[in-house]
């Protein structure tokens, strides 16, 4: 059992054990400081006996007084604190604590004077007021009680603050995950409908390319449905998915498209967020579809020790450059995903020049390995990679 599981859960067995340890520690401190560690000086100012003066009377009355401390403490932490302090009603809380202290004084006096009248003889015997029952009862009751009440309130407030922090972090994490899932879901429909529409056109024309496109589409759907439910996927599989998609577009555009895919570095045991690069590739094909001449696309992925460098270059019609929105065309979602997934750890630059559209993306990776709990799944895909090239004319 970890310290967090012991301190914060509200299971009865954990709570009872925490409280028992707390009160045993307090009782030992109170008993030792009040009844054991006394100062029996002689006339010369030296110790007359050992400072550890065991007394059965002191032991018994310490149990009585700690019982009073426990009752007062639970009244403050169980009633006054949640009712007034956490609601910022500090005046009522202070008045309540003062009233608890006022009530403790006569109760502790009753314990010393009536229940265990010999107890005051063991309380600070070197003072001239050692037989003053009121002094003994007030010092052992309210004055010591306020110490443990302050400690208990502090612990309660710190625990409440910690749980609020953890709750806020969890809510923020769930919010980010929900937003990421929404952004990810928005990618799939557009991609699927576009590809299915292309397959439909070829199927109507009776082209044998329809069956080839369906086969590649089935591989992509398998990847989407069964392999992309984790935050990170093997980079090798993500690159294969992009190649499949680009091959689909190549079939659709036939001889009107030239493609080049270049992968540099070791892609083994490297991971990336799924479908992070697909919107950029889709955008490149939209540009190519608008070209009247033969179009071209170049994709380069470079893997460094703690970073991925992605460069996408494609042709673009000269006439659409003035009115185009560089950060439009479906790229808003991917920018949001980058901001959520890699805050302050990515750099995205997009430029449109004469008949050329350029995307440069750098992603810094804190940990190139798989996320915790996914090592077994990841090792099925991670293989040592070498520089890969591919060109499609």
- Whether this model's pTM surpasses 0.75: no
**In-domain check, residue 52:** yes
Same domain, yes or no: 7 and 138:
yes
The predicted structure's pLDDT at residue 43 = 45
Count how many domains the chain has: 2
Same domain, yes or no: 68 and 120:
yes
d(CA 211, CA 191): 18
Q: Is pLDDT at 271 greater than 80 in this prediction? A: yes
Same domain, yes or no: 11 and 155:
yes
Q: Give me the residues paired with residue 391 across strands.
A: 260
**In-domain check, residue 70:** yes
Query: Which domain does 299 fall in, by range?
Result: 208-392
**In-domain check, residue 166:** yes
**In-domain check, residue 190:** no
* 146-175 pLDDT, tens digit each: 889 999 899 888 888 888 888 887 777 777
Name residues whose C-beta falls within 8 Å of residue 12's C-beta, 6 or more positions apart in sequence: none
**In-domain check, residue 21:** yes
Structure tokens at 228: 């992309």
Q: Which of the listed residues 144, 171, 198 is the one where a domain comes to its end?
A: 171
CATH of the domain at 372: 3.30.565.10
**In-domain check, residue 176:** no
* 29-51 pLDDT, tens digit each: 888 777 666 544 444 444 444 45
Same domain, yes or no: 291 and 383:
yes
Buried b (16+ CB within 10 A) or exposed e, 264-291: bbbbebbbbbbbbbbbbbbbbbebbeeb
Q: What are the phi and psi torsion angles at 48 (to 5°)? A: -80, -35
Alpha helices in the chain (DSSP H): 3-7, 12-31, 56-75, 90-110, 133-138, 144-204, 209-226, 235-253, 278-289, 332-341, 375-379
Same domain, yes or no: 245 and 380:
yes
């Amino acid at each position: 059992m970890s310290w967090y599981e012991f301190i914060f859960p509200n299971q009865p067995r954990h709570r009872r054990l925490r409280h028992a340890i707390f009160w045993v520690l307090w009782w030992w401190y109170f008993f030792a400081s009040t009844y054991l560690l006394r100062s029996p000086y002689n006339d010369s100012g030296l110790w007359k006996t050992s400072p550890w003066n065991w007394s059965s009377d002191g032991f018994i009355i310490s149990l009585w007084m700690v019982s009073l401390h426990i009752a007062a403490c639970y009244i403050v932490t169980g009633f006054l604190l949640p009712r007034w302090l956490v609601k910022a009603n500090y005046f009522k809380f202070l008045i309540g604590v003062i009233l608890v202290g006022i009530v403790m004084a006569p109760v502790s006096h009753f314990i010393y004077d009536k229940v265990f009248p010999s107890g005051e003889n063991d309380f600070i015997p070197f003072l001239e007021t050692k037989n003053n029952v009121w002094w003994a009862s007030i010092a052992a009751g309210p004055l010591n009680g306020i110490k443990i009440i302050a400690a208990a309130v502090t612990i309660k407030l710190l625990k409440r603050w910690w749980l609020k922090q953890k709750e806020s972090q969890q809510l923020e994490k769930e919010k980010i995950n929900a937003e990421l899932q929404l952004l990810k879901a928005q990618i799939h429909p557009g991609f699927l409908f576009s590809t299915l529409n292309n397959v439909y056109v070829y199927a109507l024309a009776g082209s044998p390319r329809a069956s080839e496109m369906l086969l590649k589409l089935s591989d992509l759907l398998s990847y989407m449905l069964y392999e992309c439910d984790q935050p990170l996927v093997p980079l090798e599989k993500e690159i294969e998915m992009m190649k499949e998609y680009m091959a689909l577009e190549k079939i659709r555009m036939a001889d009107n498209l030239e493609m080049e895919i270049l992968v540099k570095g070791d892609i083994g045991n490297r991971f990336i967020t799924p479908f992070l690069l697909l919107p950029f590739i889709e955008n490149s094909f939209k540009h190519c579809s608008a070209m009247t001449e033969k179009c071209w696309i170049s994709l380069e992925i470079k893997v460094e020790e703690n970073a991925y460098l992605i460069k996408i270059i494609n042709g673009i019609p000269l006439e659409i450059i003035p009115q185009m929105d560089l950060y439009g065309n479906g790229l808003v979602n991917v920018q949001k995903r980058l901001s959520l997934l890699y805050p302050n750890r990515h750099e995205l630059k997009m430029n449109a020049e004469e008949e050329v559209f350029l995307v440069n993306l750098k992603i810094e990776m804190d940990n190139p390995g798989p996320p915790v709990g996914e090592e077994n799944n990841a090792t099925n895909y991670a293989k040592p990679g070498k520089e890969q090239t591919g060109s499609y004319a």
